[in-house]
Amino acid sequence: MIDFNLSEEHKQLQEKARKFAKEVVSPAAAEHDRSGEFPYEIAKMAWKEGLLNSHVEEKFGGPERGSLATCIIAEEISAACSGIGIALDANALAQGPLIVAGNEDQKKRFLQPMTEKAMFASYAVTEPDAGSDVSRLSTTATRIDDKTYAINGLKWWITGGGVASWYFVLAKAEGGASGFIVPADSPGIVRGPKEENLGQHASNTVRVAFEDVRVPIENLIGKEGDGFRIAMKTFDYSRPLVAAAAVGVARTALELATNYAKRRKCFDKKIIKYQGVSFKLADMATHVETARLLTWKSAWLYDQGLSNTKESAMAKAYAADYCMKATIDAVQVMGGYGYTMEVPMEKLMRDAKIFQIYEGTSEIQRTIIVSSLLRGR
């Protein structure tokens, strides 16, 4: 039996997120894009509305909604502003390692507080020499006694890093790459200034230096040497979410371009009557639909407890690549108007690019898909 309908619960959630996006996120999008200010107030409102912490289990105060629900929310918020969307979603990525492999005590200490008030956390894996190739990690976690580690290293491009209350940090310990939760107020943490990025200006990306930061052994997730597996497993859960955000941006580009093409006249005809324009819109609509189907399927697999590594890589690569293409084509459909800052089309195009880079580049997603094929999956 196959069923493409959303459940009543998912439909209600979609409606709620759409209303929030329209009433709260859309009106603030241009200003956050201009100022680059972090959307604290919007995050607080989203938290109050119950739109954050979707994966957190009920026993720790969360709604335990699962991956598909998170994707539904992410598409709606990012359709209004993906900079604000990702500023909120960074929490989900940071929470991933705890959800995948944290123990009860760690979930209680770090996930539960996020359900009690609006707060932020970051996933700190990337370093100057370790992006796609995480094995080049140079941050170290040295055991200094039977209770404590000392962490030293520099993490780069950490989303939400300037506002986080804690970090998931991947560091090399004696037993191999290991994942730690590090409270942001630990002595020795130095946060850099906000990076000036091409798009998603509302999102806060910074460098975070760890200078002899003491971390109790209770904050080690799993065992020494489990870190790489945990960090990668987190992507099975976070990539559908990023793919959904890309679907949201592409969907808005399609809507704006279609509305414009229905109004704009050239050579006595509405431009939508020209195949050169209308076929672009038809292709965009097809890609949005395909990307959403792939995204929802990968999220559904995750929710069923089934392997989704290949499907989430497919969803992320497809949604990111076609989001980029959709926004470029949408600017073209709008001609000179699309290029001006009077309409949000150029913002969509700037915002789209990062989907092909973070959470694993589009090339890395393809290497994941190929390794699945090589294993006969």
Residues carrying an active site annotation: 359
For ligand FAD, the closer of residues 33 and 334 by Cβ is 33
Residue number, 44 or 366, with CB nearest to ligand FAD:
366
Q: How far is CA 5 from CA 214, 227, 324, 369, in A?
A: 50, 37, 28, 27
- Between 132 and 259, whose beta carbon lies closer to ligand FAD? 132
Report d(CA 207, CA 209) in Å as an integer.
7
Collapsed DSSP state (helix, strand, coil) of residue 114:
helix
Q: How far apart are CA 90 and CA 77, in angstroms?
A: 13
In angstroms, the CA 106 to CA 104 distance is: 6
Instruction: For ligand FAD, give the closer residue by CB, 96 or 338.
Output: 96
Q: Which residues of 185-195 are buried (b: 16+ CB within 10 A; e: fewer)?
A: eeeebebbebb
Pick 157 or 260: Cβ nearer ligand FAD: 157
The closest residue (CB) to ligand FAD is 131
288 near 294, Cβ under 8 Å?
no
**The total number of residues written for the chain in this structure:** 377
The two tokens of residue 287 are 């890609």
What's the token pair of residue 106?
A: 């760690």
Q: Rounded to whole angstroms, how far apart are CA atoms 62 and 89? A: 15
| Residue showing tokens 């989001």 | 323
Quote the least distance from Cβ 320 to ligand FAD, whole Å.
Answer: 11
Question: d(Cα 358, Cα 356) in Å, to the nearest integer?
Answer: 6
Smaller CB separation from ligand FAD, 159 or 308: 159
Beta carbon of residue 63, minimum distance to ligand FAD (angstroms, whole number):
23
Nearest to 358, CA basis, from 307, 317, 302, 298: 317
Task: For the CB of residue 248, give the shortest distance to ligand FAD in the complex, in Å.
Answer: 17
Catalog residues that contact ligand FAD under the rule CB under 6 A.
90, 122-126, 131-133, 157-159, 197, 205, 354, 357-358, 360-361, 363-364, 367
Least distance to ligand FAD from the beta carbon of 260, Å?
A: 29
CA atoms of 232 and 133, how far apart (whole Å): 12
Minimum Å gap between C-beta 35 and ligand FAD is 17
CB of 65 to ligand FAD, least distance (A): 22
Nearer to ligand FAD, 343 or 357 (CB): 357
Q: Which of 300, 276, 286, 297 is nearest to 251 (CA)?
A: 286
Q: How far is the CB of 176 from ligand FAD (least distance, A)?
A: 18
CB contact set of 161 (below 8 Å; sequence gap of 6+): 122, 124, 155, 167, 191, 192, 204, 205, 206, 207, 208
